[in-house]
Amino acid sequence: MTTARPAAVVVLAAGQGTRMRSATSKMLHAIGGRTVLGHVLAASQGLDPERLVVVVRHAREEVAAEAVARVPAVVIADQDDVPGTGRAVQCALERLDAAAHAVAAGAGTASAGDEVGLEGTVVVVAGDVPLIDPETLAELHAQHVAGGHAATVLTAVVPDATGYGRIVRDEHGRVAGIVEHRDATREQLGIREINSSIYVFDAAVLRGALGRLGQDNAQGEVYLTDVLAIARADGGVVGAVQAASALTVEGVNDRVQLAQLGAELNRRTLTRHMLAGVTIVDPGTTWIDVDVELAQDVTILPGTQLHGATTIGTGSTIGPDTTLTDVEVGEGVTVVRTHGSLAVLGDGASVGPFAYLRPGTHLGAHGKIGTFVETKNVEIGEGSKIPHLTYVGDATIGEGTNIGAGSIFVNYDGVRKHRTSVGSHARTGANNKFVAPVT
């Protein structure tokens, strides 16, 4: 097996996604805390391609902005008004060839008019396949290179192939071509091996075949799938690699699939954490985003959702019924029935039940934010406790201090916010109002 880099990965993201019935492009719907397009870009980056191209058209600005945000070096290629996956790849290739020509001209190795184009392998990935992983892409690419193929398609065998392009094989079992559902004969409709819309092509083969594609099919589109039969007719070897799981290559076309793939992604994420030493008591009610980091011997109790860049240190117990977004939890912390975002909890701290941690909450080691307590933009020193029925906003509290039950830190005078400062080893009584600014 070779580890050669692909010359380019082309992600197709120009389609309309009508079946989502949404004002938002289907590429920008999220599962596991990341957009569908973000998942595909992350898997594509795993191949370390020389160029990563995203083809855009519908919701162009939003889709392009998301691509640039995830991969600053991404090349954006615009598809024109000719529809179809084949046209999308052609637009990407023209963009890449122009760039390759500019580089050659700049280096003085080509003069104007020279036919300098991209060389090597081009990987094409549909932008709506969020569960695709870098290992599957790498295996596809490696088999393509090792076999000296003109083209290689990633396929899957599915129980219900409705809507998919079918893989047509000859009497020797070799790939003869792909036929779309709407163009298939009754016999071809019985085929359950489907096209994933993920391929590797030799750049020269792809360029040559794209130029010969027509629009003579049921949808009147330029089909990328037709490249395979052309490559084979020209004497090239067309390979196929079957994905281990059909879900890995399933596209998001409607919100039912979005939910199904979201659940599968979550199941995979939970499995990864459990195998790495995290106890998850009830995987059925636990949702964890892909970027969340959990140390060994963390325990997650039922009804817990961990989002964004949340990190949990070893020995901590989170839940039940807790939602944390971008919260940094230290070691040996307990967080019970709590809703929190953008907070930092020190080692050995305890939170809840029924706490609301708002952005800027910093709880020191062995500190406590207790029952029916809301905090915002507050530094709480080591070992300090806010046990009951309290609102603390815009404050600094020293170490080893206890804030009495029913305290309100009155931080807002209707126009401006002010800070309250409480020293170390202080004890405040019950039912106080600290009208800021106050020390």
The nearer residue to ligand UD1, 167 or 312, going by C-beta atoms, is 167
Q: With binding defined as CB under 5 A, does residue 33 bind Ca ion?
A: no
DSSP 360-418: TEEEPTT-EEEEEEEEEEEEE-TT-EEEEEEEEEEEEE-SS-BPPTT-EEE-B-SS-B-
Q: Pick what 194 binds: ligand UD1, Ca ion, none; C-beta below 5 to 8 Å, kind-dependent.
A: ligand UD1
End-to-end Cα, the chain, rounded Å:
69
Other beta carbons within 10 angstroms of residue 13's beta carbon come to: 34
Which one of the spans 11-19, 206-214, 276-284, 290-298 is the region binding ligand UD1 (CB under 6 A)? 11-19
SS3 64: helix
Per the CB < 8 A criterion, the answer to whether 107 and 242 are in contact is no
Binding residue for ligand UD1 (CB under 6 A) from 33, 165, 330, 393?
A: 165
Active site residue 144: no
The size of the interface with ligand UD1 (CB under 6 A), counted in residues, is 27
Q: With binding defined as CB under 6 A, does residue 223 bind ligand UD1?
A: yes
The nearer residue to Ca ion, 84 or 251, going by C-beta atoms, is 251
Each residue 230-269 as x (binds ligand UD1 by CB under 6 A) or -, in order, gives: ---------------------x-x----------------
Task: Give the helix ranges, DSSP H, for 9-165.
Answer: 36-45, 60-70, 85-106, 134-146
Tokens 């009508």 locate to 18
The nearer residue to Ca ion, 19 or 418, going by C-beta atoms, is 19
Instruction: Decide the pairing of beta strands 30-31 and 34-35.
Output: antiparallel
- Closest distance of CB 292 from ligand UD1, Å: 27
What six digits make up the tokens of 248? Answer: 């890995």
Q: Pick what 165 binds: ligand UD1, Ca ion, none; C-beta below 5 to 8 Å, kind-dependent.
A: ligand UD1
Closest among 413, 360, 406 to 386, alpha carbons compared: 406
- Closest distance of CB 196 from ligand UD1, Å: 6
Q: Is the dihedral of CA 420, 423, 425, 428 positive or negative?
A: negative
The nearer residue to ligand UD1, 82 or 276, going by C-beta atoms, is 82
What six digits make up the tokens of 434? Answer: 């600290």
Q: What is the Cα–Cα distance from 390 to 397, expressed in whole angstroms?
A: 14
Q: With binding defined as CB under 5 A, does residue 251 bind Ca ion?
A: yes
Q: What is the Cα–Cα distance from 203 to 236, expressed in whole angstroms?
A: 13
Which one of the spans 221-229, 326-334, 336-344, 360-368 is the region binding ligand UD1 (CB under 6 A)? 221-229
- Closest distance of CB 51 from Ca ion, Å: 24
Binding residue for ligand UD1 (CB under 6 A) from 10, 20, 67, 88?
A: 88
Q: With binding defined as CB under 6 A, does residue 195 bind ligand UD1?
A: yes
- Nearest residue to Ca ion, scored by beta-carbon proximity: 251
Other beta carbons within 10 angstroms of residue 215's beta carbon come to: 14
Q: Which of 58, 181, 362, 388 is labelled catalytic? A: 388
Q: Is the dihedral of CA 407, 413, 416, 418 positive or negative?
A: negative
| Residue 102 CB partners (closer than 8 Å, separation 6+) | none
Q: With binding defined as CB under 6 A, does residue 193 bind ligand UD1?
A: no
Q: Pick what 232 binds: Ca ion, ligand UD1, none; C-beta below 5 to 8 Å, kind-dependent.
A: none
**CA neighbours within 13 Å on the CB side: how many for 359?**
1
The nearer residue to Ca ion, 251 or 262, going by C-beta atoms, is 251
Subset of 328-387 contacting Ca ion (CB under 5 A): none
Q: With binding defined as CB under 6 A, does residue 74 bind ligand UD1?
A: no
Closest among 112, 99, 86, 74 to 14, alpha carbons compared: 86
Binding residue for ligand UD1 (CB under 6 A) from 130, 145, 180, 325?
A: 180
Q: With binding defined as CB under 6 A, does residue 35 bind ligand UD1?
A: no
Q: With binding defined as CB under 6 A, does residue 197 bind ligand UD1?
A: yes
Q: What is the Cα–Cα distance from 144 to 46, expressed in whole angstroms?
A: 17
Amino acid in the structure at residue 388? H
Binding residue for ligand UD1 (CB under 6 A) from 15, 177, 364, 381?
A: 15
Subset of 114-153 contacting ligand UD1 (CB under 6 A): 126-128
What six digits make up the tokens of 287? Answer: 């949702």
Other beta carbons within 10 angstroms of residue 305's beta carbon come to: 21
Binding residue for ligand UD1 (CB under 6 A) from 55, 298, 324, 395?
A: 55
Which one of the spans 218-226, 271-279, 286-294, 399-407 is the region binding ligand UD1 (CB under 6 A)? 218-226
Which one of the spans 100-108, 223-231, 254-262, 370-378 is the region binding ligand UD1 (CB under 6 A)? 223-231
Rounded to 5 degrees, φ, ψ at 92 are -65, -45
Catalytically annotated residues:
388
Binding site for ligand UD1 (CB under 6 A): 12-15, 55, 79, 83-85, 87-88, 126-128, 164-165, 178, 180, 194-197, 223-225, 251, 253
